[in-house]
Amino acid sequence: MMRIIIGEGSCGIAAGALKVHNSIEKLITDSDTFSLSSTGCIGMCYLEPIVDIYDGETLVKRLVRVTPDKAEAIVSAVRDADLTKVEDITISRDDEAFLLGQTRIALRHCGLIDPTSIEDYKSTDGYRALKKVLTSMTPEDVIEEIKLSGLAGRGGAGFPTWFKWNAARNSKGEDKYLICNADEGDPGAFMDRALIESDPHSLIEGMLIGAYAIGAKEMIVYVRAEYPLAIKNLEIAIAAAEQDGLLGDNILGSGFSCKMRIKAGAGAFVCGEETALIESLEGKRGMPRLKPPFPAECGYMDSPSNINNVETYANVAWIINNGGGAFAAMGTENSKGTKVFALTGKIKKGGLVEIPMGKTLRDVIFGIGGGIRNGKKFKAVQMGGPSGGCIPEELLDTVIDYKALAATGAIMGSGGMVVMDEDTCMVGMAKFFLDFTALESCGKCVHCRIGTKRMQEILSRIVEGNGKTGDIELLSELSLAVKDGALCGLGQTAPNPVLTTIRYFRHEYEAHINEKRCPAGECAALRRYSIDSEKCVGCTLCARGCPTKAISGTVKKPHSIDETLCIKCDNCRKVCRFGAVSVI
Amino acid sequence: MEKITITINGKIISAEKGETILNAAMRNGIEIPNMCYDKSVKVYGACGLCVVEAEGMPKLLRACSATVSDGMVINTDSPRAKEARKIALELIMSDHDGDCKGPCSLHCPAGTDVQGYLKEIALGNDREAVRIIKEKIPLPASIGRVCPHPCERDCRRKHVEEPLSIAYLKAFAADNDLASDAPYMPTRKPDSGKKVSVIGGGPAGLSAAYYLSLSGHSVTVYDAMPEMGGMLRYGIPEYRLPAAILAREVDLISAAGVEMKNNVKIGHDITFDEIRENSDAVLVAIGAWKSSGIGCAGEDLDGVIGGIDFLRRVNCGEKVDIGKNVAVVGGGNTAMDACRTAIRCGAEKVYVIYRRTRAEAPAEDIEITEAIEEGVEFKFLTNPDEIIGENGKVVAVRLQIMELGEPDASGRRSPVPVEGKFETLEIDTLISAIGQKCDPRGFDGLPLGARGTVTADEKNCATALEGVFAAGDATNRGASIAIDAIAEGNLAAKAINAYLIGMPIDFHKPYYSEKKITPEMFAGREKQPRAVMPVKDPQVRRGNFEQVINGFSEEVARNEAKRCLECGCHDYKECKLIRYANIAPVDPHRFDGSEHDSYKEQKLGVIERDQGKCMLCNLCVRVCSEEVGAGLLGLVGRGFATVIKPEFSDSSKTEICKSCGRCVELCPTGALRII
């Protein structure tokens, strides 16, 4: 039987997948024998909406950037079993390579199954690992298997998962909690959202195995309220799992009982920090606690609690099914398995990528991601969002490995990979992230509350052309102090974008401060526009579009810009068809 | 509890397993700075001040939360810990807006607690006011009359209407104390057995003697003149400071244990060396008693006299023959004292010759006004060109007419001669009041500086001679106002005391937080003009030496004191922030940037909260929730903009607050107070 499946993750929906869905649905008649359903995100977000045509279990056609007006051609192609009718929207060989370069474990079901169907999940070995655990393994066996796999926390810190589970298991306490951190707040990161939206049962199964291992009776998923589709799909999955006896009392007749609930967070970045997350779960203001005591001893409701990130749990069932050894066979000496990255920025092919540890950044950015858009030059990649650092071109052969990335000053992070090209000002980039962390600081500790604010102010004056001699040194000193003195991960890592940009792009800071010049031409306050009188043909387009009437000149005569009136809106440069407007 | 052994700063101490480093340190009397810790609430860890370094630990530890382990070696003051603490304090200070002390106190050379004594005067507690004043000024009735009061210059009340009349209020309280049955007398420390000789019984010498005696030392003041007081006695005319008032204050200094020896001239009656041999320490406070010469032709003529020489002779009761027409040269307070004294000595015409204009004159404006009222004629923009004599006696002075040119180093426009323009005044006496010099004869071996003054260390008054200190007009930059001499006398007393007990002290000037002022802060205040000091009629007063001022009435004085805006922080003495900031010490403006709006609000009962001083330690929030159980306060906003408000900005909390005051008690700065 032919099946049409539409990618309806948030990325697909944003690109118009629901309109495509409706258009196709309207054309289907009772006599049609093919089916129409939806799936999650396959990871090629840049090609959305994606429509897959299956013959039975075999993918026979993948259509990309589908628009509603193609619905007729699609229905007709499937109805007539003539797929040449949709050749024009078929994925290219080059784009197919995006998936071929990956090893999908956490994302193994994403974009392939219907996330709202527990049957779909079960048909792909779903809940087999849970059955295995409940019927043939002790909690200690589970922890041992996870230890063997080398699985480490995918939220960014890379702490060994088995160690946390073991600590929580060994903590005294009747009521233990297993918590999932789905408060994905890094700008440019969307791994967790896509995972929950596309494969919620994989999270439930992974968490159940963890809950069994530590002895928890309740599981809580702390997810951002800004992820409505993830919450909806997870709610559906929880209900289905409860219905099937996979959640609640005496699961699968094993005697193990565990329930699950969702807590929607109100969107504070700091609540991604595990102790702040616990405070928020308890209904308090999301502010980090001092550690020790660690959550494994004294967490939610002062009970032993284990917190892992979505991606970490998504690996667990696979590890149980395939063995820790199979997972550990991938990767490097100190980083095992695979890692999911959200590839964004000035990259040609943006989306979700899962690759084994040990590949290089170049493999991801130029291999899978296809390099930089619009023929521009690569400048740097920001790893790990606001907590991470930027890595310059000369370090692109760095392998993806917790230690190797840390040595560059960046971090593995939760998987955000923001690619920047030659037009990106690195001081402006550092300021962008400091604007974010300064705003998202919970306000508790002095270093983060005031320190990040001061760093942001210094960066602001530099990009506005008011930087002073000594500002780089002051920034560096303050950065190290904040790193050392801040209470939680948010503050301790907030200076990373500043420190790495100073380390690799110090000349850009110096140009801003000493020459009042932005080498990338991005900082508006430092931009100076001029019109090349040889190139200008006097078409008047720029003058007519100038909001402050800063451009003057007569028709067919070269125009000129009055810098005192120019507000650097960039409009003239954008509209000029002769390349006559240049920025100094 | 299991006992373990740890080392803090090289000291081996016993600690309990599981307790925090901060606890172990506190129990053993080792201070680790902290601002967000209090034993009555849970550990919070926000201020970042309690960081310490432990051997083998890569990161700094927060002493409030890190627990001790057996054999732990901790350094609370390692360079890394101190640097981290310093930056934390600098960050806190960069968002701190408050006055530790009011501008009055900061501008008083002696650092008098002006706000403190004004409050007592307002409440009618003059004796308590005098006690506060006498912590810094042993001659308040005298100083209150003669001081040019730098304290009043930046009094914040001037932004409402006019500064407070601080100096006269000081005199008011001191007069009442002197008039009481038992004027204030502090207790003297037990005898130290040390002998200090003070040479010179002026404001510097008397102040040093007073405080040294109270510290238990045996002090003798030697003075060349018949009575104590120095320039206060012989340089200030009776009509400004009656000798009887000064004498009563000098008597109180005697009563505080100071031995006074008058009519003793060093090098004549006793040698400097003899005094040094007989004393454990010596203070040279001999003042500046020589008038500076005018530097024009005719200055040696009969009838040309120095301003302070003239004042001294009059104050000694001598009838000085000055004739009918007198010219006084100079624009300072000595010139004013001289011209007004000349009027009182019977001169018919008195001129003041000053090379700039009234605006540039260093004399107090009120002095110029009162001189004019008494008939003195001011010849501004003139300068003596030649003093003309006949038979060796002054008959006239030729004046060069001046005009103002470009500003000079002092910022004042400098006078330049108008070529060819002169004026001649017929005079009998010319009094030169353009400056005074130190006369160090008799002090062999005491090193002098370029200006002929005694060279003394400005930080501790020490001279190059062992055990010899110097203070007041005789030192360094030379003559200044009385309160400067008193300030130096106080400093000398501290330094000498430290020297005698062998305890070196740190003399570096402390850092004080100062508030940024905007006109809006004073906008809503009711205007209440400054109290005017009643004075005698010019026509009456010019004929005698009676005191010009009549003094404040009780009602006027109390109301005037109530005008004080109480700028200084009520919590200055208890404030952890300023104490740590001075220990570090911080560079408080290194991280200057935007600040929280500085406002005061009264959201809970009688508790006032000053946002400018809050450093978000959250102790108030926590104690209200954890200990009191009321939970009325909470944090509102995010990041830098976070502030403390009634929980969830719920104003109904106001009514629930029982004003138990625990939040105020725990506040480490002056951000909270009960009003």
Q: What is the location of CATH 3.50.50.60 in chain B?
A: 195-289+452-501, 291-436
Give the CATH number for residue A207.
3.40.50.11540
Query: Which residues, other chains included, contact A440 with Cβ-Cβ below 8 Å and sequence gap of 6+?
Result: A185, A268, A269, A270, A386, A490, B638, B639
CATH class of the domain whose range is B195-289+452-501: alpha beta
Of A491, A514, A537, the residue that ends a domain is A514
Same domain, A457 and A499: yes
Strands B349-354 and B325-329: what pairing?
A: parallel
Same domain, A323 and A345: no
- Collapsing DSSP to helix, strand or coil, B162 comes out as coil
Same domain, A30 and A73: yes
For chain B, the C-alpha Rg in angstroms (whole number) is 30
Same domain, A162 and A307: yes
Same domain, A401 and A483: no
Same domain, A504 and A365: no
Same domain, A498 and A387: no
Shortest alpha-carbon distance between residue B34 and chain A (Å): 12
Q: Which of B164, B112, B394, B443 is nearest to B287 (CA)?
A: B443
Could you tell me if A292 lies within 8 Å of chain B, comparing CB atoms? yes
Q: What is the location of CATH 1.10.1060.10 in chain B?
A: 103-184+522-562
- Identify from A450, A479, A483 which residue to disrupt to test chain B contact, counting B C-beta atoms within 10 A and taking the largest count: A450
Average pLDDT on B129-149 reads 97
Indicate the number of domains in chain A. 5
Same domain, A347 and A234: no
Residue A438 lies in domain: 426-514
Could you tell me if A399 lies within 8 Å of chain B, comparing CB atoms? no
Report the residue of chain B nearest A440, measured CA to CA. B639
In a domain, A301, yes or no: yes
Residue B43: which of A290, A441, A443 has the nearest Cβ?
A290
Of A487, A514, A541, the residue that ends a domain is A514
Average pLDDT on B260-267 reads 96
Could you tell me if A449 lies within 8 Å of chain B, comparing CB atoms? yes
Strands A177-182 and A218-224: what pairing?
A: parallel
pLDDT beyond 80 at A435? yes
Residue A454: which of B47, B591, B618 has the nearest Cβ?
B591
- Collapsing DSSP to helix, strand or coil, A543 comes out as helix
Q: What is the pLDDT of residue A267?
A: 79
Contact indicator for B47, B617 with CB cutoff of 8 Å:
yes
Average pLDDT on A156-165 reads 94
pLDDT beyond 80 at B90? yes
Q: What is the pLDDT of residue A117?
A: 97
In this complex, do B87 and A438 lie within 8 Å of one another by their Cβ atoms? no
Q: What is the location of CATH 3.30.70.20 in chain B?
A: 596-674
CATH class of the domain whose range is B596-674: alpha beta
In this complex, do A485 and B44 lie within 8 Å of one another by their Cβ atoms? no
Q: What is the pLDDT of residue B640?
A: 95
CATH class of the domain whose range is B103-184+522-562: mainly alpha
In a domain, A281, yes or no: yes
Same domain, A320 and A358: no
- Collapsing DSSP to helix, strand or coil, B457 comes out as coil
pLDDT beyond 80 at B507? no
In a domain, A111, yes or no: no
* Stretch 533-552 of chain A: residues touching chain B, C-beta under 8 Å: none
Q: What is the pLDDT of residue B256?
A: 97
Could you tell me if A197 lies within 8 Å of chain B, comparing CB atoms? no
Could you tell me if A461 lies within 8 Å of chain B, comparing CB atoms? no
Token duo for residue A257:
């009982």
Lowest-confidence pick of B162-166, B256-260, B605-609 = B605-609
Could you tell me if A267 lies within 8 Å of chain B, comparing CB atoms? no
Q: Which residues of A touch B87 (CB under 8 A)?
A: 447, 477-478, 481, 485
SS (H, E, C) A168-183: HHHCCCCCCEEEEEEC
pLDDT beyond 90 at A181? yes
Q: Which residues of A touch B634 (CB under 8 A)?
A: 285
Return the ∠ at Cα B450 (arms to B447 and B454), rounded to 5°. 35
In this complex, do B45 and A447 lie within 8 Å of one another by their Cβ atoms? no
In a domain, A459, yes or no: yes
In this complex, do B593 and A454 lie within 8 Å of one another by their Cβ atoms? yes
Where residue B600 falls among pLDDT bands split at 50, 70, 90? confident
CA dist., res. B469 & res. B458, Å (int): 11
Average pLDDT on B330-335 reads 94
Could you tell me if A474 lies within 8 Å of chain B, comparing CB atoms? yes
Q: What is the pLDDT of residue B509?
A: 83
The complex scores an ipTM of: 0.89
Give the CATH number for residue A433.
1.20.1440.230
Average pLDDT on A358-376 reads 96
pLDDT beyond 80 at A226? yes
pLDDT beyond 80 at A376? yes
CATH match of B3-94 with 3.10.20.740: yes
Q: Which of A536, A516, A517 is nearest to A582 (CA)?
A: A536
Report the residue of chain A nearest B614, measured CA to CA. A446
Could you check whether the bond before residue B585 is cis, i.e. omega within 30 degrees of 0? yes
Q: What is the pLDDT of residue B433?
A: 94
Give the CATH number for residue A545.
3.30.70.20
Query: Which residues, other chains included, contact B137 with Cβ-Cβ below 8 Å and sequence gap of 6+?
Result: B110, B112, B143, B170, B207, B483, B486
Give tens-digit pLDDT for A501-511. 999 999 999 99
Could you tell me if A444 lies within 8 Å of chain B, comparing CB atoms? yes
Q: What is the pLDDT of residue A360?
A: 97
Give tens-digit pLDDT for A260-280. 999 999 879 999 999 999 999
Shortest alpha-carbon distance between residue B642 and chain A (Å): 6
Could you check whether the bond before residue B226 is cis, i.e. omega within 30 degrees of 0? no
Q: What is the pLDDT of residue A255?
A: 95
**H or E stretch covering A297:** none
In a domain, A323, yes or no: yes
Chains A and B form CB pairs within 8 A to the count of 95
Give the right CATH number for B291-436 from 3.40.50.2300, 3.40.50.720, 3.40.228.10, 3.50.50.60.
3.50.50.60
Token duo for residue A293:
């005591």
pLDDT beyond 90 at A198? yes
What's the pTM? 0.88
Contact indicator for A206, A195 with CB cutoff of 8 Å:
no
Give tens-digit pLDDT for B537-592. 999 999 999 999 999 999 999 999 999 999 999 999 999 999 999 998 999 899 99
Mean per-residue pLDDT of chain B: 94
In this complex, do B92 and A487 lie within 8 Å of one another by their Cβ atoms? no
Of A368, A398, A421, the residue that ends a domain is A421
Q: What is the pLDDT of residue B655?
A: 73
Query: Which residues, other chains included, contact B392 with Cβ-Cβ below 8 Å and sequence gap of 6+?
Result: B301, B302
Same domain, A265 and A320: yes
Give the CATH number for residue A343.
3.10.20.600
Same domain, A126 and A264: yes
pLDDT beyond 90 at A563? no
Which carries the bigger pLDDT value, residue B584 or residue B75? B75
Give tens-digit pLDDT for B91-100. 999 999 999 9
pLDDT beyond 90 at A25? yes
Shortest alpha-carbon distance between residue B135 and chain A (Å): 38
Same domain, A142 and A190: yes
- Strand ranges, E, within B355-439: 377-380, 382-390, 393-407, 413-426, 429-432, 436-437
